[in-house]
Structures are given as C-alpha cells and as structure tokens.
Amino acid sequence: MTRQRLHGIAATLAIVAFVAGVPVLLLAIGATPSGDDITGMPSILTRRDDGTLALLLLTIAVWIAWAVVAASLVAEIIAQIRGLRIPPLPGLALPQHAASQLVTVAALAFIATPGAVPSIPVPATHAAVPVPRLDTEPLTASPGAPVPHDTDPPATEQVKPAKPTTTYTTGRGDSLWKIAQRVLGDGTRYTELVDLNRDVLGGRPDFLPIGLALRVPTFDETQADRSTRSYVVKESDTLWDIADRELGDPKRYGEIFDASTHIAQPHGGRLTDPDLIVPGWTLTIPATSQPAAQRPATQNGVVPSRPDPAPQEAISPRAPRSIEQTTETDNSAAPTTIPASSEVDDVASPGWLVPGLTAGGTVLAGCLFLALRAHRRTQLRYRRPGQVLAPTPTELQPTEKTAADVGVGVAGTLEFLDRALRHLAAEFDTRDEPHPQLEHVSLTTRTLDIHLAQPATLPAPWSGSGRQWKLTTDSDVADLDVLPPYPLLVSIGQTDTGALELVNLEHFGTVDLTGDAERVDALARHLAAELALSPWSVLVEVHTIGVASELHGLDDLRLHHHPEPAEIRPLVDQIRASHAANSGDPDPFRVIIAASGIDHAELSDLVAAPARRLGVAVVAVDSSAASAALTVEVDPAGRLRIREGDLELQAAGLTKSEATTCAAIVDAARGTPTVPAPVFEHPADDLQTLIDQAGAVREDLVQPRPSGPAGDRCLLPGTTGDYVAAAATTAEDVAELAPIVPEHVADKLIEADPDLDRDLAAWLDPECRLPKLTVLGPVALFAHGSIAPTDRRRPVLLELAAYIALHPEGVVSRELAEVFRRSESRMRNDVRDLRAWLGSSPITGLPHLPAGDASRLYQETGTPGYQIDDLLVDLDLFRRLRARGHARGAEGLNDLLAALQVVTGPPFTLPSGHGWSWLYDDNRIHETAATALADVAHLVVTRSMSEGDLETARTAAQIACSSIPFDEVCHLDLLKVAFAEGHSEAATEMLDRDVLNRTDEYIGTVEPPDRTKTITSTPGWQKRRTS
C-alpha cells in the first residue's frame, strides 16, 4: 500500500468520523437543544445567570458548525464525482476550502495509480487495445486484413498493432469530453479514450478521480499535414492563441513567427515582434506534424509511451505529470464545461493600433512620442497647483497609445542616435576636418551602423573601417551642445531582420519615389511627418507641394504645405540666393516633397550644382526625370527597393487618415489645457468617495478660506497674505490647496482609514512579508511567493500587477484581455503566474490574488473578478496620508511629510519595452500622481517657509524637483528657498536658466506663465531670510 493511498484512507476516516461521529457524540452527552429550550429563551434571559444560556448558545453553535461543514463535505464529494466545481459562497469560503482539501486527499484512496500495476508478463493477445480505424493503414498491416471488432475473439493474427500512446494524468474538473477536446481537438472523440482505458475506468467513464493515469493516442506521422498554409490575423488574435488553435500548442508560436517574417503586410508592415501583430496581416502556419498534447515530455510535461514490443515489458511505475498542470491557465477559475472557441479566444481588437506607426513607421512613432512628451511637459509650466493636464481627446487616444506602445521602445535609441552623431561631428570639428559623408544608417536597439559615401577614420568608441562603422547603443557618448550634423536623415522602412533604415536626403540631393501610387503617396506623407517631428531636424523646413496636405497643423514652423504648383517659384528664388551666397552651413535646411506632375526640374538642377553646402533635398513623387541620385521603388505589397543598391525593405507609410490624426494629436498636445484632478468613478472604499485621485478632499466637501486666519481646521492655519509673503505662492494657490475641512468631513476621513498607521509601518519595515508595489519612482514589485518570474516574464507580470492594484474596485478577465491584447485564456495564465509570485498573505493565509470567484468583487456583486488583497502600494499610501493630513488640519503637516518620504523618483519610471498603453486613457494616473506630488511638496514648502523651517522646505522642494522636473511650481519653491538661505548668485543663475529662459527638449524657449511672472515680480522675492 502506497503512502498516497494511506493518506487517502486517513482522510476518508476523518470525513466519516466527523460526519457521523460528531452528532453521535453530541447526542451521547445530551447536547441536543429541544423545542422547549428555544421557546423558553425569553425566561432564561430574564432570570439570574446560572450558565444555562451560555451552554445553550454553545450547543446551537456546535450543531450549526457541524451542519455547515458536513454539507460542504457532501457537496464537495458530489462535485468531485461529477467533475464539477462549486463556487465559493459568501462567508463560507473557509469551510468550503477545508472540505475541498479533505475530499481531494480522500480521493487518493480510490485512485488506480500506475505504480500499483505489477510487472507480470501478459499474453500478446491482450496487448492490443481496440481503437477506431484510422484513414491510413498501419505500417505492419497487410492489404485486405480484417479489422477486429469488440466481439471478435482475441486472435493475434487478426489484431491491429496498437498505436503509440501518451499518458495523461487527470486533474480537478476533468471529463473525458474535455480531455478529448484538449488532446485530440474534438470532444466527440472521447469514445477513443474509453476504448483505450476500459481496464482503468472500470466501467465508469463518467467518474474520473484526480490523479488517474489515462492513455491517449499519440500522433500518427502518416496523418501529418506537411504543407504550410496561410492565416489572416483577426481582431481577436495573438501568436500564442493562433499557435494554440492551429498547431495545438501555444508554445509553437515561434514557428509561426519564423515562417512569417518575410511576408509583406498591408500598410507597409512586417512581422518583427512576436508581441505585435495587426488584424489583416497574413501569417504562414507551418506543418502541423505534432499536436501539442502528443509531443515528447520535453515540450509540455507529457511522457510518451509506445505499445508493448514484447509481452514481458512492464508498465512504468512512475505516474507522469498531467498535461493540465503545464498548459492549463487557471484551474481554480476554469469553467466546468468546455466553452466554444469564440468564448475562449475572443479578444477585443487592439483597435487603437495605428499601422502606419508600426514596423517601417517605428521611427516616426518614436519621434511622435518624443514630440507629444515634450509638448505636455511644456504645458506643465502653465499648470496651477491643484490642477492636472487634461487627457488627450478620446478620438485621438489610439494614435497616442500607439506612439507610446511602439515609440517608447525606440525613443531612447533615437535620442542615442542624435547624441552619437552630434558627438561624432564634434570630434571632426576638433580636428578641423569636414564631417564624414553619411549615406544611410541601420538602427537596432543594440547597434548603430552607418554607411559612408567615402572611406573615413572614426574615433573610439566607433568600430569598423573604410565606409562601414558600428557603435553599440550602450556606449558612453557625451551629450554635446552641437548642431545636428545630418538634419535630413529620415527613415524609409524596415528590413526583414527588424533593422530600421534611414537615408541622408542631403547627401543624395534628389530622390525619386516611384511605383504603386497609393504606397508612394503614403511614403511621402511619412517623410514629411518624420522630418517635421525628428529631434535632429529642428532646423529643417519641409515644403510639400500637392501632397501630404493632411499633415497641416503638425508643426507650422517646420512643415509648410503649398497646394498650388506655382508656389514653387519663391522656393526656387530662395534656394538660388543661398546657392549664390555659398556662405557655409545653411539656415534653414530645406526638403521639398513634390507631387506627381509638379515641375521641379529647376530645383533639381540647383541641388545638383556644386556648392559648399546647400542643405536642400528634392523628393519627387513619380517623376519622369531620370536624373535623380536615388530612386526608391515601392510595389503594391509595400516592398521598397532602392534601384541604385541591393537594399530591400518593408516601406514606411501613412494613410490619409493616419496623417490627419498624427497632425491633430500634436496640435492638441501643443495647447493642452489644465483641469481639476479627476475623482474616482468607481470608488473601491469609503475613503475614495471623499477624495479625488490626487488624494485631496473633494471640492464639494470643503469650505473656502476666510479673509483672516484659517484656523486649526486647515493645513495652512494662518492668513493667506502671510503665506504669499513668505513663499513662492499666490492667493489662488493657497485657496485651492488649503481650504477649510469641516469637522464632520474630517471625522469621516479618519474613520474611513483606520489601518493607515499599520500599513505605513509595514511599508517602512524591510522585514515585512507583505508584497509592495512602487509606482512613485521606478515601477517594481517586491513579493515573497514560491515562484519568482523569469527576467522575460517579470515585466509582463509587473504591468499586470500594477493594473490590478491601481483598479482596486476589481477587474474582470474580459477587461484584462482588452487592455493587454491577449485572449482571456492567456490572461488567466498570466494571472496564475502572478498569483504564484505574490504568494499567500501572512494575515489571512489565503492567496494575495484570489481566483475570480473567490474575490471580494464576487462576494459583493456575484461577478468574478481579480483584486489583490493585502498589497501595499506607495501611491495608495501617498493619497491616504495626504487625505489624513487635510483631515487633521493644522496638525496634519507630519502626514504630508510622511507622504513625501514614500517617493523614490519620477512617478511611473517604466521598464523599457512595449506596454503600459493603458496609462494614456482618460485618467492618466501617472500624470495625476506626479502633479499630486508637486502640490503636496508645495504645501509643505509654503507652511515651512512661513514658520522659518528652511531645512524642511528645501527637502520637500528637492524631492519634488527630482521627481517631476518639468513642473514649474517646484522649481519656484526651490528658488525661493535658495534666496532665503542667501544663495543669491546661484539662485539667480537657476532662475534665468531653468525658469525664465527654460527650453523643453527641442521645442525652444517659451514665454513664462502668468503665475511665474507674478511670483518673480513680487517685492522681496529674492530677499534673504534673517530670522
């Protein structure tokens, strides 16, 4: 008898003893409340206490507890026999969980394990198991051999050789139909499993105990479809899900990826990232030679077996792992019946994905991301305390989310490219040598390869020789204040290996775009948009004539559209004057992109004429001239070829609608207004009904400040004038950030958060075993689960944890599928891995991330969903501390200081790579968190300055400046502290450089906001504090 069976017998005896023994014991000791006891309750309550009441209540409680546990055990036994799963009931999760565990262990006493099969020789006639006839003949069958039936006598010469089989170990909730669906791809084939396992099933195919070893057919190679086939991506697809459906194993997604990278996709796309596919793309599905469940154990934990080659071969005594253990997503949340494929794989379309900003358009996506970031950072200057930047208009969010999802991964590489080329130019300027003649650049996330027109010798850290040089993107290259040497460098597409190709239009001078008209126009729009946004093209004027009018408004200083062909004449005159002057570096550089039919011959002649440096390139669409230095051909499939070389790419390109939205979103970002901080649309607790998402008390719950002292019910208890005189603030700021909190509101705020001190102490305790999520700084999760994710899985699970944690009201699997662009089954797999990483709570002993139907959301609403329990989040603590600080009024300063102490850097400093596009929805929680930090710091600085505590004021201002460096409020706070400390010279220099003449990336100097002008012109602004 095995140890497993002993455990099962012990559990069975425990169930019998509890269900039958407890009532027998209670009856034996007379603990049986009668009807008279119940009806006599009033008299017991009125007479002198002699212990009768306590004994009666205890007896009733014991009987109720027995009934609940006994009912849970009976229900669990029935459920396991029928292969069902009982949803947890509110208030009964603990007894249900205990009953489930006990019944599961008890089932081990009744499982027929392979280890119990003796190694006894079996006659050859018993080795064959009848199976349905296959379309192909067995290798050893002779033509015309009769097929045996169940009723045939066991004759060796009539029995088909048994097919190879694989062992499958049953799990909870399994049925033969489900196993056939999972393993064989068709639930109706469950009869084959019955025929293969008659001896194991014992005539009860409807009863599958957990741990039962079943034989399932392996794949017959003669049935394999060895031909490849095409598949068109639908809105609900990921490579993982396609591999799961088409090949039977989601882990084979890499085969589809490898077989499909050469295919030219619509809109100039190409498959270069297995996590990024677009509806409408065509993929190649390789031969389905090995379904998932019928592969060697190295792939998915299934141990293959063969038919007994000789009667003496014994069955392996070791039971293999279940397929379900390695491929099922979340067993605890799995349905009890097999859903239709549409239910399993249905995923909301990534409808926000803009194809023109993917693949060959990746560089443009990066430039767009940098431009949008720069404009919103500039708009932070105009934010007043208590305000946040308005979200991007809903109709433009798809473009912004694409720029963030695709562009953020390449933005750093583009910044490195700009820095490296400027550094290279500075090295040649130091030698007093002309810059190398750059033809084109090949860019990946790891390397920068440049191709020169003439051999040159480049300094370290460049490596190479002659015309080809390489630089790794992790090289230490100084950021020098040098003009970009190649401002007309622009991307044209992507190679089949994923490298982004950029050409230097200035070197070639004249470029002809020819081929498919729609593709050529799309490429022309792409060139115009990228040159108008590129960080190294700030000195470039882009003139479009008869093409790319949809980009109007993208950048009125850098991009100029001329609808009439005659408008080319002034450009010719300007360039002719520059050619005659021959005065050195051009200012500005110019690119003229002319539509088909525009006469640009005179321009092209000027560009081709010798001059020191004209700084002009002419890009003609379908020109009839044959004199272009570079001819780019684009076919209807979007394949780009350069006639003068062997370069072949997937062309970049923007459709008319994509160009329109790109221009509109940049124009909107340029003038982003400010709005009040958003409130919680779906409050997760009482506290969130009282505060906004920045942690401030809701505007409708506070009272305005009086004209005199505000009193103890306010964080700034003095008069408004006192704070305006002492700090870098205004009367409007004080009124907005420090209103009066009525006493009854303050009481509600305190009562709504009784555990704040406990949670803050746990956050500060390095030995605390609760998981901690940081978003007010580098995003990270510190957890103590049994299984830590791999380096590749960690960013995925980190983003998932952040999303669930920042939506404490609960999220459902469909929502996760929509946000993360994966199927619901794939999301449950990620949830399972995150659950293992988080582990169990030391407070409750239950998983930090319960199954969907064990969550608080399910208990409260009946809707399965995901919530993380007992997780500490710095943003949550920050909000709660700020709220309590307001509630405590004049005594709340310490809470604000504690809130600043949980900050570790710029909020939502993200891991590199794709993802996090949900941050750009309407709430924009990353921006709200950053501005909340600046506002809390401003309150602390203002209060501390008025009280003469310059040290605390400086600390708060420095935390804010390092965390949100583009917000002007905190810079003025720090300057005021510096002046008060007597550092006038350094403060004056900072005021001139960082405020009055501030430049944001490549946008340039902008007019200081009215608030800044008011504060810096206040009498005594630069006064040193003497007392």
* Whole-angstrom distance, CA of residue 915 vs CA of residue 918: 8
The pLDDT score that the predictor gives to residue 167 is 74
Beta strand pairing status for 589-594 and 540-545? parallel
Of 293-307, 667-681, 876-890, the range with the highest mean pLDDT is 876-890
Amino acid at residue number 253: Y
Output DSSP code: residue 158: G
Asked if the model's pLDDT at residue 287 lies above 90, the reply is no
Phi first, then psi: what are they for 958, rounded to 5°?
A: -70, -40
The pLDDT score that the predictor gives to residue 137 is 34
- In DSSP terms, which residues pair with 442 in a beta bridge? 449, 501
| Alpha-carbon dihedral sign for residues 269, 274, 278, 279 | positive
CB atoms within 10 A of CB 530: 25
* Whole-angstrom distance, CA of residue 418 vs CA of residue 412: 10
Q: Which has the closest alpha carbon to 874: 778, 751, 748?
A: 778
For 977-994, the pLDDT digits (tens) are: 999 999 999 999 989 888
CA angle 523, 395, 273 (to 5 degrees): 50
Higher-pLDDT residue of 910, 770: 770
3-class DSSP state of 630: strand
Q: Which of 201-205, 655-659, 715-719, 896-900 has the lowest mean pLDDT?
A: 201-205
| Alpha-carbon dihedral sign for residues 351, 367, 559, 623 | negative
Asked if the model's pLDDT at residue 976 lies above 80, the reply is yes
Higher-pLDDT residue of 258, 929: 929
The pLDDT score that the predictor gives to residue 42 is 66
**Whole-number average pLDDT of the chain:** 80
Mean pLDDT for 992-1008 is: 78
CA dihedral 228, 232, 236, 241 (to 10 degrees): 10
The pLDDT score that the predictor gives to residue 207 is 62
For 18-71, the pLDDT digits (tens) are: 888 888 888 888 777 766 666 666 666 666 666 777 777 888 888 888 888 888
Asked if the model's pLDDT at residue 1027 lies above 60, the reply is no
Asked if the model's pLDDT at residue 138 lies above 50, the reply is no
Mean pLDDT for 988-1010 is: 81
Asked if the model's pLDDT at residue 711 lies above 80, the reply is yes
For 731-762, the pLDDT digits (tens) are: 999 999 999 999 999 999 999 999 999 999 99
The pLDDT score that the predictor gives to residue 126 is 32
The pLDDT score that the predictor gives to residue 953 is 97
The pLDDT score that the predictor gives to residue 912 is 66
For 798-848, the pLDDT digits (tens) are: 999 999 999 999 999 889 988 888 887 788 889 999 999 999 999 999 999
The pLDDT score that the predictor gives to residue 162 is 53
Q: Which of 622-636, 733-747, 853-867, 889-903 has the lowest mean pLDDT?
A: 622-636
The pLDDT score that the predictor gives to residue 185 is 61
Structure tokens that stand for 187 in this block: 């639930």
Amino acid at residue number 564: E
**DSSP string covering 655-695, please?**
-HHHHHHHHHHHHHHHT--EEEPPBPSS-SSTGGGTBBTTS
Q: Which of 20-24, 217-221, 551-555, 793-797 has the lowest mean pLDDT?
A: 217-221
The burial class, CB within 10 Å (0-12 / 13-18 / 19+), for 648 is middle
Q: Which has the closest alpha carbon to 511: 616, 586, 647, 637?
A: 616
Asked if the model's pLDDT at residue 400 lies above 70, the reply is yes
For 377-389, the pLDDT digits (tens) are: 989 888 999 999 9
The pLDDT score that the predictor gives to residue 296 is 34
Mean pLDDT for 649-663 is: 94
Asked if the model's pLDDT at residue 688 lies above 90, the reply is yes
Amino acid at residue number 944: S
Cis geometry, peptide bond prior to residue 588 (ω within 30 degrees of 0): yes
The pLDDT score that the predictor gives to residue 577 is 79
The pLDDT score that the predictor gives to residue 910 is 85
Higher-pLDDT residue of 369, 644: 369
For 111-127, the pLDDT digits (tens) are: 433 333 333 333 333 33
pTM of the complete model: 0.67
The pLDDT score that the predictor gives to residue 165 is 73
Q: Give the list of residues 6+ apart from residue 759 with CB closer than 8 angstroms, or none.
A: 872, 877, 880
Cis geometry, peptide bond prior to residue 461 (ω within 30 degrees of 0): yes
The pLDDT score that the predictor gives to residue 222 is 34
Asked if the model's pLDDT at residue 223 lies above 70, the reply is no
Q: In Å, what is the CA distance from 86 to each residue of 96, 103, 209, 339, 899? A: 9, 13, 16, 18, 44
The pLDDT score that the predictor gives to residue 143 is 34
For 428-470, the pLDDT digits (tens) are: 999 999 999 999 999 998 999 999 999 999 999 999 999 999 9
Start-to-end C-alpha separation, the chain = 87
Mean pLDDT for 966-977 is: 94
The pLDDT score that the predictor gives to residue 309 is 35
Q: Which has the closest alpha carbon to 183: 195, 202, 166?
A: 166
* Whole-angstrom distance, CA of residue 593 vs CA of residue 456: 31
* Whole-angstrom distance, CA of residue 588 vs CA of residue 575: 10
For 634-647, the pLDDT digits (tens) are: 999 999 999 777 78
The pLDDT score that the predictor gives to residue 305 is 33
With bands split at pLDDT 50, 70 and 90, how would you rate the model's confidence at 159?
A: very low
* Whole-angstrom distance, CA of residue 832 vs CA of residue 502: 43
Q: Which of 409-418, 791-800, 844-853, 1018-1027 has the lowest mean pLDDT?
A: 1018-1027
With bands split at pLDDT 50, 70 and 90, how would you rate the model's confidence at 290?
A: very low
Q: Using a pLDDT cut of 90, give the percent of the chain over it.
A: 47
